[in-house]
A and B are shown apart, each in its own frame.
Chain A
Amino acid sequence: MPVYDAVVIGAGNGGLTAALTLAQAGKKVLLLERHNIPGGCATSFVRGRFEFEVALHQLSGMGSPERPGPLRAMLGEMGVLDKLEFVEMENLYRVVFPGTFDVTLPTNREQLVKELSLRFPKDADGLSRFMDLVYRFSMEMVQGLFFHDPDISREKYPVYFTYAFRNSQDVMDEFMESPFLKAILSVYWGYVGVPPSMLSFGDLAIMLWAYIEFKPYHLKGGSQALSNALLDKYLASGGEARFNCAARKIVVDGGAVKGVITEQGDRVDAGVVISNASTIHTYIDLIDRDAVPASELDAFKSHSIGPSAFTVYMGLDCEPADIGIHETTNFITTTVDADRAFSLWKTMEQQGWALLTCYDVSDPDFSPPGTCQAALVALQYGDPWYAVSPQEYADAKYRYAEGMLKLAERVFPKIRDHIEELEAASPLTHLRYLGHPGGAIYGFDQYAKDSPYFLTNRSAIKGLFFAGSWVGSGGFQPTLTSGRSTARSVLKALRKQ
């Protein structure tokens, strides 16, 4: 067995960009993935004539080639842009309260404010001031944090320092009256997994701002194309990868990483391990108990396992317009009470909240001619699924999916008549494919206390690093970025040696 500079455990977004960055820096890297394909969440599967996108709904941070966002810039640096074709979405999203309210937000700030002001004239002024705040906050954050202003201070960036940790609901309440308007503006809470009453304003603001400024994107071939492109580049850069090969143990001796033992029992020596697996799996399952520093276990105590998702993937034998789908991104909600919807995530009760994404609206080639696919997704915790007995699992899954489909039918009444393929994925499906407790797709719950400010990608064990959702924010852009920045920390540490 050769000796590696680094072993990367897990080929999710974070693992892939970490491995690629190290390989491109000339390091000898081994990437281990328990599944047979790279991507983790960022993958797809085929049923009949449809290829279902598992996870990616709206890619953030892309921007256009003329005005690249941070993600496009990063993918460009890694040399994978030429293999990928990105598709810009026309609108930000549609929000439907069935039978009550229906609005579609354009991706342009002025038009967005105009559209919502027309619909909520009483709140027009507050809305425009709220959007000003969103923008001022985001500009300050970009200036001060992303560009590493050495003179960053409360005085220089007052909005950022005042609002970063405030909760989104309070801030919205200060500016606007209508609960519908506020629900519409904060509908992305479902992307973070934290209701507005607990969601940091900073998280909401930067997300709104980034999707408006850099536009939501998808890509041809779905997120699997991105995962494949990253792996391809990694292999071409001299990296080695093994699939169907989980890490079973991280060997730690004298407080430092020595290597990894694979599920087949091979020992691989390396002074650095980057884990894209959950921090829980890494410390609790992969490392001998007596080698885990007490401080790391202690740090776990302030975190809780975040939500997973329940998704109904549908292949439809019609064009989107045939059944009234005119937007790519459709949030369907029966309530403005996000706290209540959120409280149902820990139960098997229907939430009355879902997102229906139809990629074919913005990319007509996404599915075969005359067909389209719709992914109907709601976040849900793994907990209630743990209580389902194996014998009852299939029935429970169909029941939950049926409830979600009924909700979708309230907006798209003919959808069921066109289903050609349908697959449902529960939190246990994600647990199976990701190996994460609870099937968590964003790592830990993402309250302010769990934000990147309070997390670190480096372990107290020498040579052990992390990349991905368990040490930062979940989602595509954050995890792809996390892998790259972890790799940079590793390169720095290696240079010091």
Chain B
Amino acid sequence: MALKDVMKDIEGYTRITEEIQTLRKYGSDFTDRKGEVERMMALLHPKTVPLVVSEIVTETESTKTFRLTARGGHLPPFQAGQYINVFLEAGGVRTSRPYSISSSPTQTGYYDITIRSVADGFVSSWFLEEARVGDAFESTSPSGTFTYNPLFHGNDLVFLAGGSGVTPFMSMIREVACKGLDRRIHLVYGSTDVKDIIFEQELAQITQRHPNIQVSHVISSPPKRYRGLKGFITAELMQELLGDLSAKTFYVCGPEVMYGFCRAELEKLGVARRKVRTEVYGPPRDVTSQPGWPGDVKAGDTFSVKIRGGRTIPARAGEPLMVSLERSHIVIPALCRSGECSLCRTKLMSGRVFHPEGVKLRKSDRQFGYIHPCMAYPLSDLEILL
């Protein structure tokens, strides 16, 4: 006998069917929830945010701030320290770059991004030289986890910034200042030269008005007779500036070389790993000098990448696979471009790639042959599934 027929004999069956009949008289058929999920997501995490440059401010010789406002609609909120990945076309190539938002989350009308041009920088130079007020972009919604977490970061924060790595801290500092929060912050900010310091005046003003916020500049190649702090952010310097470190949480953001350096210095000081937060900062300048890079492959070696069911494209060993794809006008989803968010996750059908240390692959993704092309460097001919 089929279940349907015997079910009626289960004690309580009639009661339940009656209940169902009653509910059918009064219940909702959910038609009023049409589009609800999409609407909810659009508020917090829309897939893309249409933006327009409304203002450009020159910060230093090599740095500009771009104020981005919404092209219609609203801007999703963000937490200080988060970034957006900006999609654009430069030199005939569609690509994207993540930039930390430097404005305060209390400013809900715009996102500021502050970009320093790097040597041979493809997108940064485009921004500094070509971008104009009125240019339109799309970006991802604000993302990233380099943010203050009240559950375990405590109230005593040290920000170690290098160069343009000051941008997320600027957002955090502006927020604390604007909301009058009692978090104590000491920003230790390394720049190459005095003239490279970004936000110098505003930081000076904030520290004057807010005794809980302190800023120390450290200059690595100072002008003659410079009287401020010189060199790098070393253990000695931190010890001197910061005193008792036991209750402090450290945040580090800056060029790739800074992480290794600061981590080692903090370790010397006995700072526990859990007390150190670091932001990702994109692919390394020279991947062949990363630990684990195989000696027999040169940065200039070129391999062919076959896309299952599609074209075959060339890819240089020294460049992330995502960039090679973009050069061949194949755009895959991207967010962090630093190997950590997994949005670009792609199946490798054959061949070998190099992932620098710190790329956050899931264990089973490794087992089943997935790669993060934004930080995967070809070591042989490849076949991938898109």
Interface residues, chain A, with chain B CB atoms under 8 Å away: 36-37, 44-47, 51, 83, 145, 150-154, 160-166, 220-222, 224-225, 228-229, 231-232, 235, 244, 280-281, 283-285, 289, 297-304, 312, 317, 386, 390-391, 393-394, 398, 401-402, 405, 416, 418-420, 422-423, 428, 431-432, 435-437, 448-449, 453-454
- Let me know if A228 and B364 touch, CB within 8 A: yes
Please report the C-alpha to C-alpha distance between residue A76 and residue B378 in the assembled complex, in whole angstroms. Answer: 36
Interface string of B144-171 (1 = CB under 8 A from A): 0100011110000000000000000000
- On chain B, the residues within 8 Å of A449 by CB distance are 16, 19-20, 23
Please report the C-alpha to C-alpha distance between residue A166 and residue B16 in the assembled complex, in whole angstroms. Answer: 11
A162-B11, A453-B7 given; A228·B31 CB < 8 A: no
- Let me know if A302 and B364 touch, CB within 8 A: no
CB distance from A265 to the nearest CB of B (A): 15
Please report the C-alpha to C-alpha distance between residue A435 and residue B46 in the assembled complex, in whole angstroms. Answer: 13
- Let me know if B362 and A44 touch, CB within 8 A: yes
Please report the C-alpha to C-alpha distance between residue A419 and residue B272 in the assembled complex, in whole angstroms. Answer: 11
- Let me know if A161 and B9 touch, CB within 8 A: yes
Interface string of B265-284 (1 = CB under 8 A from A): 00000001110000000000
- Let me know if A454 and B16 touch, CB within 8 A: yes
Please report the C-alpha to C-alpha distance between residue A300 and residue B23 in the assembled complex, in whole angstroms. Answer: 10
- On chain A, the residues within 8 Å of B257 by CB distance are none
- Let me know if A428 and B44 touch, CB within 8 A: yes
Return 6 A-B CB contacts under 8 Å, by A number.
Answer: A228-B367, A284-B33, A302-B19, A302-B23, A422-B151, A454-B16
A229-B368, A448-B12 given; A301·B23 CB < 8 A: yes
For residue B1, CB closer than 8 A to chain A, the reply is yes
Which 10 pairs across A and B sit closest by C-beta, in order of nearness? Answer: A301-B27, A165-B12, A420-B274, A225-B364, A221-B364, A46-B360, A302-B23, A297-B29, A419-B152, A302-B20
Residue of B nearest to A318 (CB): B274
Please report the C-alpha to C-alpha distance between residue A232 and residue B348 in the assembled complex, in whole angstroms. Answer: 12
Contacts of B6-23 to chain A: CB distance below 8 A: 6-7, 9-13, 15-16, 19-20, 23
- Let me know if B13 and A390 touch, CB within 8 A: no
- On chain A, the residues within 8 Å of B79 by CB distance are 394
- Let me know if A166 and B365 touch, CB within 8 A: no
Please report the C-alpha to C-alpha distance between residue A393 and residue B40 in the assembled complex, in whole angstroms. Answer: 12
- Let me know if A284 and B34 touch, CB within 8 A: yes
Known: A300-B29, A301-B25. 6 other contacts (CB 8 A): A36-B345, A165-B13, A224-B365, A225-B367, A284-B30, A391-B108
Please report the C-alpha to C-alpha distance between residue A405 and residue B30 in the assembled complex, in whole angstroms. Answer: 35
Please report the C-alpha to C-alpha distance between residue A100 and residue B3 in the assembled complex, in whole angstroms. Answer: 45
Please report the C-alpha to C-alpha distance between residue A123 and residue B35 in the assembled complex, in whole angstroms. Answer: 52
- On chain A, the residues within 8 Å of B385 by CB distance are 235
For residue B41, CB closer than 8 A to chain A, the reply is yes
- Let me know if B367 and A221 touch, CB within 8 A: yes
- Let me know if B27 and A224 touch, CB within 8 A: no
Contacts of B307-338 to chain A: CB distance below 8 A: 333
For residue B222, CB closer than 8 A to chain A, the reply is no
Residue of A nearest to B25 (CB): A301
Residue of A nearest to B29 (CB): A297
- Let me know if A428 and B40 touch, CB within 8 A: yes
A145-B3, A152-B1, A285-B34 given; A422·B149 CB < 8 A: yes
For residue B215, CB closer than 8 A to chain A, the reply is no
Residue of B nearest to A244 (CB): B333
For residue B343, CB closer than 8 A to chain A, the reply is yes
Please report the C-alpha to C-alpha distance between residue A106 and residue B294 in the assembled complex, in whole angstroms. Answer: 50
Please report the C-alpha to C-alpha distance between residue A418 and residue B99 in the assembled complex, in whole angstroms. Answer: 31
- Let me know if B37 and A435 touch, CB within 8 A: yes
Residue of A nearest to B339 (CB): A46
Please report the C-alpha to C-alpha distance between residue A364 and residue B364 in the assembled complex, in whole angstroms. Answer: 17
- On chain B, the residues within 8 Å of A436 by CB distance are 37
CB distance from A287 to the nearest CB of B (A): 11
- On chain B, the residues within 8 Å of A166 by CB distance are 11-12
Contacts of B366-381 to chain A: CB distance below 8 A: 367-368, 370
For residue B24, CB closer than 8 A to chain A, the reply is yes
- On chain B, the residues within 8 Å of A303 by CB distance are 27
Interface residues, chain B, with chain A CB atoms under 8 Å away: 1, 3, 6-7, 9-13, 15-16, 19-20, 23-31, 33-38, 40-41, 43-45, 76-77, 79, 108, 145, 149-152, 272-274, 333, 340, 342-345, 347, 360-365, 367-368, 370, 385
Q: Could you say which of B16, B31, B41, B79 has the most chain A C-beta atoms within 10 Å of its C-beta?
A: B16
A419-B274, A420-B273, A428-B40 given; A301·B364 CB < 8 A: no
- Let me know if B6 and A300 touch, CB within 8 A: no
- On chain A, the residues within 8 Å of B361 by CB distance are 46
A300-B29, A301-B23, A302-B20 given; A46·B151 CB < 8 A: no
Please report the C-alpha to C-alpha distance between residue A145 and residue B10 in the assembled complex, in whole angstroms. Answer: 13
Please report the C-alpha to C-alpha distance between residue A226 and residue B38 in the assembled complex, in whole angstroms. Answer: 28
- Let me know if A317 and B273 touch, CB within 8 A: yes
- Let me know if B11 and A224 touch, CB within 8 A: no
- Let me know if B145 and A51 touch, CB within 8 A: no
- On chain A, the residues within 8 Å of B363 by CB distance are 51, 220-222, 225
A44-B362, A402-B151 given; A301·B24 CB < 8 A: yes
CB distance from A43 to the nearest CB of B (A): 9
- On chain B, the residues within 8 Å of A437 by CB distance are 30, 33, 36-37
Residue of A nearest to B34 (CB): A284
Residue of A nearest to B150 (CB): A398
CB distance from A413 to the nearest CB of B (A): 15
- On chain A, the residues within 8 Å of B333 by CB distance are 36, 244
Please report the C-alpha to C-alpha distance between residue A430 and residue B129 in the assembled complex, in whole angstroms. Answer: 42
CB distance from B350 to the nearest CB of A (A): 14
CB distance from A306 to the nearest CB of B (A): 13
CB distance from B179 to the nearest CB of A (A): 11
Please report the C-alpha to C-alpha distance between residue A312 and residue B149 in the assembled complex, in whole angstroms. Answer: 12
- Let me know if B16 and A46 touch, CB within 8 A: no
A152-B6, A228-B365, A435-B37 given; A390·B44 CB < 8 A: yes
A37-B345, A46-B360 given; A297·B16 CB < 8 A: no
CB distance from B23 to the nearest CB of A (A): 4
- Let me know if B3 and A453 touch, CB within 8 A: yes
Please report the C-alpha to C-alpha distance between residue A46 and residue B365 in the assembled complex, in whole angstroms. Answer: 11
Please report the C-alpha to C-alpha distance between residue A165 and residue B11 in the assembled complex, in whole angstroms. Answer: 7
- Let me know if A394 and B77 touch, CB within 8 A: yes
- On chain A, the residues within 8 Å of B11 by CB distance are 161-166
CB distance from A421 to the nearest CB of B (A): 8
Please report the C-alpha to C-alpha distance between residue A432 and residue B362 in the assembled complex, in whole angstroms. Answer: 21
- Let me know if A228 and B368 touch, CB within 8 A: yes
Please report the C-alpha to C-alpha distance between residue A396 and residue B25 in the assembled complex, in whole angstroms. Answer: 37
- Let me know if B362 and A51 touch, CB within 8 A: yes
- On chain A, the residues within 8 Å of B365 by CB distance are 224, 228
CB distance from A115 to the nearest CB of B (A): 32
- On chain A, the residues within 8 Å of B43 by CB distance are 390
- On chain A, the residues within 8 Å of B344 by CB distance are 36
A150-B1, A153-B6, A302-B23 given; A448·B367 CB < 8 A: no
- On chain B, the residues within 8 Å of A36 by CB distance are 333, 342-345
- On chain A, the residues within 8 Å of B23 by CB distance are 301-302, 449
A150-B1, A386-B40, A419-B274 given; A302·B24 CB < 8 A: yes
Residue of A nearest to B370 (CB): A228
Residue of B nearest to A394 (CB): B79
Please report the C-alpha to C-alpha distance between residue A128 and residue B97 in the assembled complex, in whole angstroms. Answer: 64
- On chain A, the residues within 8 Å of B44 by CB distance are 390, 393, 428, 432
- Let me know if B37 and A224 touch, CB within 8 A: no
Which of A162, A420, A448 is the one whose CB lies under 8 Å from B16? A448
- On chain A, the residues within 8 Å of B77 by CB distance are 390-391, 393-394
CB distance from B273 to the nearest CB of A (A): 6
